[in-house]
Chains A and B, each alone.
Chain A
Amino acid sequence: MRQLLSVEGLEDNFRFLVMEVSKQLAETERRLAEPSEVSIDAVISRDDFIDNLKATIETKAYASIRDLDNDDQQTINRIRAVNTITSNLERLADFAVNIVSQTEYLRDPAFIRRYDYPAYFRVIGDAVDLIEPALLDLNIAQALKICRTEFRLDNMYKHSFDHILAELRTGRDTENLVTSLFIIRYFERMGDALLNIGEAIISAALGEKLKIDQYEALEESLEAADLGSDMSDMTLDAIWETKSGCRIGRLRDHSGMSRTGRGVIFKDGRAAKLRAEKESIDRWNALIPGLTPRVLDFHERGADATILLENLPARTFQEYLLDRDSNLFETAFETLLSTLGSIWNDTRSDEPSAARFVRQLQRRIEDVYKVHPEFQRRESSIGSLESPSFDAMLERAAALDDQLVSPFSVLVHGDFNIDNVMYDAEKQQIYLIDLHRSRQFDYCQDISVFLVSIFRQPIFEPELRRRINGVALRFLEWSREFAVTNKDTSFEARLTVGLVRSMMTSTRFQLHYKFANAMYLRAVFLLEKLIARESRDWATFRLPDDVLIY
């Protein structure tokens, strides 16, 4: 932020604007106190100066947005915030001019003192003072304080308004009362401008449009969970993972989590999805307590919901995998395997399950083609060798896949990526997060998603890549042993189809063409192997391990 605003003197212009608006407010207050000491002309000429500053900032802001790459969304969001704040600061200054103009209509200049106008200026001034630090540090707690000013001013206005109304009924001082009402009404409108400013800073900090209402929901959750209700002491670390339709943030209080012992995770999204997550967590807790974060609070409001989860003092399995300096990976991996083995054994039921991986893929294939149109390969031939189109291969594989059924089912995670598994090294404990797709299902679902989430790590440095390849092969071997022990004869074929699905769908998020193509070619290779198996004798089919190696 600091760097951005220093570009072309934008930061100086902005700081200057805030200062001028503050001065304008101070002069306005002085005019109310001592009308003879402040001329209306002085206030109006400062307003012209503020208008010019605003125009300068807007021009620079638009120019820098135009010059930026589209992918620099964060910087663009910040510049947008500068723009929104600038125009609302200018409104504050305009309201100040309006107030000063109104003073001419006061027959008794001291009349306005009845309504404690200095209190209004204090509240507004405090908020204006917060604007620059809140914007520069993208400090959400400070931005929220700015937003709150609107509520405070509304309440103060309501109080003054009721007072004036009562006095008007007496029929005395009508002119002074009406003028006072006008003046106080401008304070209330300043509150609206400050609310816009606070929201603009929150939006810049979070990278998306977010309304104060959503923060009210968050605060409500915090209160209900009794984790400390004062949002001003909390920092929303970051908001990430928006592709699944939920906003997720991690809250930390400034005292270093001392009050709650640990932070909390807040999610805000569609009710159906968050309810599914809550129900899954409840189910997991009933079956195997302690594997999931605790639900501290859950609120539904129509189609939306918020959930507040315990923030685990753990790192993701992905972090352990990619941390070449950590010697903790081996124990994390071993703990994961034994935990997973227990889950599958404990939740195993003889209910067969058909995952229908190819159908799952067919539902998403258009999204893949949108990112990589060249993957919609047409049929081709070289001499007498023919290869069908990709869609035709999928259709043939779907017919095979429809016959493939797991002889038993287990409680699967449903989105078993390496970043949805966490490990607490101190307690040697595995945790599972993001359980909204969890259900009783074919365990090949979790295995294939897990293996591809390892494979698709964009790591090309040989030593670390070797480790990644090795972990994938070891996980595959361990899964095979589970299948053999449980007399699952179609395991290899189902896992193969599962890998086709996950390799293909993962290409959507991989814009590195060569790597995306490597996943696509593996999916095609596996499809060809499956289709070539005309005997349907899946007991002797074997997944070629090499597809997991890059």
Chain B
Amino acid sequence: MASQKSDFRHESLQDRQTIVRYLNALSEGIASGRLVLGTREEEIVLEPEGLLKLDVKARQKSDEAKVTFKISWKSNGHGDSPIKGPLSISSEKAD
């Protein structure tokens, strides 16, 4: 954990097929209990365990639509301080 960044952010434009590839990568990480996100220099390793809180939000406006999947959890099953900045994936599409 020592060399880890505590924040990671990625932003890009994708088509639907590529979005599905990103979602699959996330699914695999959650299923295995180890999700690695990073750039060439640094990486962040998340280890989802215990009860994971899922918060799904969707919004549709006249010129914009949005869905947010937020998964958060306490980083230590025995009550350590929670990791802030939960992983989030969102997709946006202009009408």
Contact = CB atoms under 8 A, between A and B. Distances in A.
* A, B: real partners: yes
Interface of A: 382, 462, 465-466, 468-470, 521-522, 525, 544, 546-547, 549-550
B51 A466 contact: no
Specify the main secondary structure of chain B where it touches its partner: loop
Given A522-B51, A525-B51, A466 B78 contact: yes
B85 interface: no
Nearest to A464: B79
Contacts of A470: 78
B38 to A, nearest CB: 27
B79 A547 contact: no
A287 B68 CA distance: 59
B56 interface: yes
A550 B79 contact: yes
B53 A521 contact: yes
B29 to A, nearest CB: 20
A291 B81 CA distance: 39
Given A546-B50, A546-B51, 18 more contacts: A382-B56, A465-B79, A466-B78, A466-B79, A466-B80, A469-B78, A470-B78, A521-B53, A525-B51, A544-B51, A546-B77, A547-B51, A549-B50, A549-B51, A549-B74, A549-B77, A550-B74, A550-B79
B79 A462 contact: yes
Contact of A462 (B53, B56, B80): B80
Interface residues of B, number: 10
Nearest to A382: B56
Contacts of A462: 79-81
Contacts of A544: 51
A550 B51 CA distance: 10
Nearest to B52: A546
16 contacts: A462-B79, A462-B81, A469-B78, A469-B79, A521-B53, A522-B51, A544-B51, A546-B50, A546-B51, A546-B77, A547-B51, A549-B50, A549-B74, A549-B77, A549-B79, A550-B79
A549 B56 contact: no
Interface in B71-95: 74, 77-81
A382 B21 CA distance: 19
Contacts of A522: 51
Interface string B48-59: 001101001000
